[in-house]
Amino acid sequence: MYRRRGSAKDPAQDYKLANATRRPNRERLGSMSMTMEVDQVRQEEPGGNADFEWNKFNSILYHGHNYVKPYPNDLVFVEELRDFFAAELQGGEGLHGVDVGAGANLYPSLAMLPFCAKLTLIDYSTSNVAWLQRETQSYSASWDPFWEILAKAEPYSAIDKPRLLLSQRAQVESGSIFQLPREKWDLGTMFFVAESISERKEEFVAAVHGFIGTLRPGAPFAVGFMENSTGYRVGSHAFPAVEIRDTDVKESLRSLAEIRLLLRLEAGDDPIRAGYTGMILVCGKKLTNTES
């Protein structure tokens, strides 16, 4: 996933060793050094979101690896989502919710389901969009353990047929996190997206701001992040990440949102994959006077 970060060999040193008894051509040597320095900068420049083949993202493999067997940290997050939305919305319904960068993960949408008359799942990858369109029609048994945790409390426990309800309320759309409409949705989620679509810190920040900007003032939200992720593979394809910590998350939300909960869980002895140190959950509300 990451480009190899190697330092270029110093051409000036090579020149001196090979030409110890000759006077160097300083003009040519300077030109060579400049060329090598430019090449080195190009090699070390972090890859941007547009540099990766998102339409080749294998949604089936990703779902199978990450969610067919529930990961304990995800189950903890689901419980926190349930309690947060239930407390903030206090039995409200008829809202329009959004899950940005839904990918092959339905548990954020299920956490919003009781409160939404309409639930929009957005993803940029054509393969993820196709997977979501199929999965939301009658979701697979892999999501039952997640719903069981949600259904331990109201208003989730009042829903007899969550599969049917999701199929009726969910709509899947293709879209970019960098081009979302402003202040459209009443509540929202974004899980493992902002830090996992680029190697560039500024694109991580832009993604967080884009998500907050698409929510209406005062909207409750939940976001999840992989801590210190060094990138990930899905099948034969490598995908990027920005190494972020809770301080980066808080800074990206500063002046945009009120953080009600920030929970960090260690990756532990049995991580879901290699290349990260933990998972971060933030629940909060968009500020009413933000300019995101």
Residue 284: band (very low, low, confident or very high) from pLDDT cuts 50, 70, 90 = very high
pLDDT at 173 over 90: yes
- Please answer whether residues 108 and 191 qualify as being in contact, where contact means their C-beta atoms are separated by less than 8 angstroms: yes
DSSP string, 218-247: T-EEEEEEEET---EEETTEEE------HH
Element (H, E) at 217: none
* pLDDT attached to residue 36: 46
Mean pLDDT of the chain: 88
What class has domain 49-286? alpha beta
CA distance readout (Å), 228 to 139, 249, 256, 270, 277:
31, 12, 23, 16, 6
3 state SS of 12:
helix
The 95-100 sheet, strands edge to edge: 170-174, 116-123, 95-100, 187-191, 220-227, 278-286, 257-266
What are the structure tokens assigned to 196, written together?
Answer: 């996992």
Q: What proportions of the chain, in percent to the nearest 5, are helix, strand and coil?
A: 40, 20, 40
Pull the structure tokens for residue 81. Answer: 């989502």
| CA 70 – CA 61 distance, rounded (Å) | 15
Distance CA 85, CA 17 (A): 68
Confidence (pLDDT) at 45: 83
What whole-number distance in Å separates Cα of residue 250 and Cα of residue 203?
16
What is the structure's pLDDT at 289?
A: 80
Residue 12 has pLDDT above 80, yes or no: no
**pLDDT above 70: residue 226:** yes
Q: What is the largest CA-CA distance in the chain?
A: 88
pLDDT given for residue 91 in this prediction: 78
**Where is mean pLDDT largest: 4-13, 24-33, 277-286?**
277-286
Residue 166 token pair: 């999701």
- Residue 52 tokens read as 């990766």
Structure tokens at 240: 């990027």
For 68-123, how does the pLDDT look when each residue is reduced to its tens digit (9 = 90+)?
Answer: 999 999 999 999 999 999 999 997 899 999 999 999 999 999 999 999 999 999 99
pLDDT at 21 over 60: no
pLDDT band at 191 (very low <50, low <70, confident <90, very high): very high
pLDDT at 42 over 80: no
pTM of the prediction?
Answer: 0.84
Nearest of 147, 229, 222, 166 to residue 190 by alpha carbon: 222
Q: Would you state the pLDDT for residue 165?
A: 99
User: At residue 144, what are phi and psi to the nearest 5 degrees?
Assistant: -60, -45
Is the pLDDT score of 13 beyond 50? no
In terms of DSSP bridges, do strands 278-286 and 257-266 run parallel, antiparallel, or are they unpaired? antiparallel
Q: What is the dihedral sign for C-alpha 221, 224, 196, 203?
A: positive
- The answer to whether residue 287 scores a pLDDT higher than 50 is yes
What local confidence, expressed as pLDDT, does residue 67 receive?
Answer: 98
Q: Which residues pair with 103 in a beta bridge?
A: none
**Residue 183: how many CA atoms within 13 Å on its side-chain side?**
11
In the chain, at which residue ranges do the beta strands (DSSP E only) sit? 95-100, 116-123, 170-174, 187-191, 220-227, 232-234, 237-239, 257-266, 278-286
pLDDT: which is higher, 165 or 22: 165
Q: Report percent pLDDT > 70 for the chain.
A: 84
CA-to-CA distance for 155 and 95, rounded, in angstroms?
A: 14
Q: Is residue 291's pLDDT more than 90?
A: no
